[in-house]
A and B are shown apart, each in its own frame.
Chain A
Amino acid sequence: MNKKLSKLFWALIAPIAAILFSLIFVSIILMIKGAAPLSTFQLILSYGAESENIIAELNQTIAYYLAGVAAAIGFRMLLFNIGIDGQYRLAIFIAAVVGGATNLPTFLELPLIILTGVVVGALWASIAGYLKVKRNISEVISNIMLNTIASGLIIYLLQPSRLGLKGKNSDNLATPMIPKSGWMPSIHILGGELYSFAFVAIGVGVLYWVVLNKSVFGFNLRATGMSFRAARASGVNAPRMIFITMALSGAIAGLTGMGELLSSTHTYSLAFPTGYALTGLALALLGRNNPIGIAFAAFFWAFLEQAAPILDLNGIPKEIVMMMQGSIILSTVASYEIVKRITRRQQQRLVGAVDAPQVVTEAKGDKA
């Protein structure tokens, strides 16, 4: 019992320390700016908890959650999928183009759009996967480059003479509208509209947990992540696993933002947010690759962002939230690393305490 408690203590101490640290960090900045930290935090909490904001946060949570799961799949293999951003945007863009060009009955149209996103995301990610496996190129570098290439391609293809259209009321370029049969209904709740894509996100989370923890494939994946050589020695085709993991991560990345496309905008424009890669990685780190942990982290993130504008109205720069997120990422990773080192030292001491007397007796036995 004592051991279990201590284990729980060390598991919780890292995130708590991280959040405390970033609160202190942000408080100092707020005080320099001349704002009272406590009332600022109260402002964020009360504004974020208003019911219409809660729905907006939940909708944002869906996208963040999927980005987080995409990152977590990569992390399990020690792959750093910074390409989520390019994968998601290219996937949503092409899915929107395909959706806009077809007009099938709903039961075909919706799966078609969603599948297109999944496939495009997976294909785009598998470029980095291929380079990693065949050319031993760091997926971080290739994905950073692929993100920029994806942006350029999208802007190029969005020109009115190609796949895009000029908006009616604005100069924003966008893809043709998806017909009604490709719309996904929203759920009226708390005076807001919750994307029903939330169920898909939940499904992805469940699938992620089941596949990773209950299947041979998941076992192989985790084994390869823990030790490439050991996995290979025991018959796992490790390079193939790396390639598949990268593609899977890209496939989930292709679902990010799908809720917004299917239930809200029905068209892709450059107004779709960027930066999901960093967010996804941060959430996977915060949630420790656990599907429920990531969900909490995603909601927390969305909450902070939704509440940010209220700060500007009160004379506090909303960039505080951005700095808070940056410091949370850094302090989380740092505190996990420190806790890992402390617990490892404890374990070593425990092992040492058990083994040491035996060694001594053996040594004595040798003498006799």
Chain B
Amino acid sequence: MSTLKENRLWRIITSPSRMMLTVAGVVILVSVVRQFTGISDITSPGAAGATIRFTIPLLMAGLGGLWAERSGVINIGLEGMMILGTWFGAWFGYLYGPWVGIFAGAVGGALAGLLHAILTVRVGIDQAVSGLAINLLGAGTARFLSGVFFIGAGGDVNVSPQVKSISSFTVPGLSPFLTSLGQKHILVISDVAGVVAGFITSINWASLVMILALPLTSWILWKTRFGLRMRFCGENPSAAESLGVNVYRTRYIALAVSGALAGLGGAYISVVVTGNYLEGQTAGRGYIGLAAVIFGNWQPAGVLAGAALFGLTDALRVRQSTSVHALLLVVIVLAAVYSLTKLRKKDWKGFGINLGIAVFVLAYYMINKVVPDEFVTFFPNLTTILVLAFLSQKLRPPAMAGAPYRKGEES
């Protein structure tokens, strides 16, 4: 525990005042970078809105992963469950309206989650094998069903007919005011106004409903009896069982919810973002959801942070590739500042590593005009590898996530 208390990052995260300070610092930094590079898209309402649309699927997948891993089962099948979500969302959305579609997406994902539960919890097969097979089955099922249903209904073998869109809302008065303020390019004020304007302008109702999953997850996992038991199952299933927790049932529920969340993320992509099902449109987002869980240290707020970071880079890449290049400046300054705090603590190794990162990124920034799309695409994956490699001691995964468990057998 003492190591946790000494950990600077941890203290910053845990104390509200420090957190406000950090956020303010980053905002000012981004603002200065925006002014310096003249790339105003970074903090435009459009970029903020796009970030929300790219973040929500990742957030849902990440929360799905969180539910599964907190109960002690690793869910590699998130990708397949998302694919089923996109398919069910689009088809039932086309038939009965978008909200029914989103609900159907959740059901589709939950069914796959239950299959994962039956296979890993009841039958006891390897969690990775089951997850990967579900990814294969999910992709195959969606392709097969597309061929069966879409062609007669005005779609194609890999495209569904269009789904009616869900209405969105804009906060009246405030939104136009902030948008115009955002275009004035005043340091900090315009940036904050621009981002906030993006958050309150033509926000899809579905986005709002989905974001609710985050506080709900947080509340269930840390404030309810079921949540306590579920986390117990992830940390020590044998002890949980001995104290009367039904580990199997808990994991069944957790995995069904996990699948439903991933399915919701998929349905959001097909119903809200594109308005129809396109084959392969999840594009590995289930795996990035897994990455967000690790990046977020198995905490709901952390999962949000990971999903938002990965969503932001994705959104900026799609809008304007120079934005990502400008963001490198933020990375450079952050690494330099962090290396200075290491220097103050006489942590020479940490100082060297962080300074090295700053210099390396600076060199890259000076030499190149843009960050290649391919690099941005695997940015979440690379970040996860680096987090795992360098911060693994600070990570607190559920102790028994991924370990096989049989009732009454020693693990």
Contact = CB atoms under 8 A, between A and B. Distances in A.
Interface of A: 29, 33, 80, 82, 127, 131, 135-138, 140-142, 144-146, 148-149, 151-153, 155-156, 278, 281-282, 285, 317, 319-320, 322-323, 325-327, 329-330, 333-334, 337-338, 341
B128 A82 contact: yes
20 contacts: A131-B388, A138-B74, A140-B74, A145-B382, A148-B377, A148-B381, A149-B378, A153-B374, A156-B372, A322-B139, A325-B136, A325-B140, A326-B137, A326-B140, A327-B137, A329-B129, A329-B136, A334-B119, A334-B123, A337-B123
Given A141-B294, A149-B385, 5 more contacts: A131-B385, A136-B392, A152-B377, A323-B137, A326-B136
Interface in B267-315: 284, 287, 290-291, 294
B76 A149 contact: no
Contacts of A337: 123-125
A333 B284 contact: no
A146 B143 contact: no
Interface of B: 74, 76, 119, 123-126, 128-130, 132-133, 135-137, 139-141, 143-144, 147-148, 284, 287, 290-291, 294, 372, 374-375, 377-378, 381-382, 384-385, 388-389, 392, 402
B411 to A, nearest CB: 14
A141 B388 contact: yes
Contacts of B389: 131, 135, 137
A144 B77 CA distance: 12
Chain A interface SS verdict (over half): helix
B372 A323 contact: no
A141 B125 contact: no
Contacts of A127: 385
A320 B125 contact: no
Nearest to A317: B147
Contacts of A140: 74, 76, 128
B129 A323 contact: no
A330 B385 contact: no
Contacts of A156: 372, 374-375
B129 A333 contact: yes
Nearest to B287: A144
A77 B122 CA distance: 25
Contacts of B144: 29, 317, 319-320, 322-323
CB-based closest 5 A-B pairs = A322-B140, A152-B378, A326-B137, A145-B381, A156-B374
A285 B129 contact: yes
A141 B290 contact: yes
Contacts of B143: 317, 319, 322
A80 B402 CA distance: 12
B133 A135 contact: no
Contacts of A319: 140, 143-144, 147
Nearest to A139: B128
Contacts of B374: 152-153, 155-156
Contact of A33 (B128, B148, B375): B148
A80 B74 CA distance: 14
A138 B402 CA distance: 9
A144 B126 CA distance: 17
Nearest to A157: B374
A99 B139 CA distance: 36
Nearest to B132: A278
A149 B374 CA distance: 9
Contacts of B133: 282, 326, 329-330, 333
A329 B125 CA distance: 11
A246 to B, nearest CB: 15
Contacts of A146: 381, 385
Contacts of A142: 385, 388
A145 B136 contact: no
Contact of A82 (B132, B136, B291, B402): B132
Given A131-B388, A136-B392, A334-B125, A152 B140 contact: no
B386 to A, nearest CB: 10
Nearest to A279: B136
Q: Which of A135, A153, A282 has the most CB of B within 10 A?
A: A135
Contacts of A155: 374
Nearest to B140: A322
B384 A141 contact: yes
A317 B135 CA distance: 19
A29 B141 CA distance: 10
Contacts of A322: 136, 139-140, 143-144
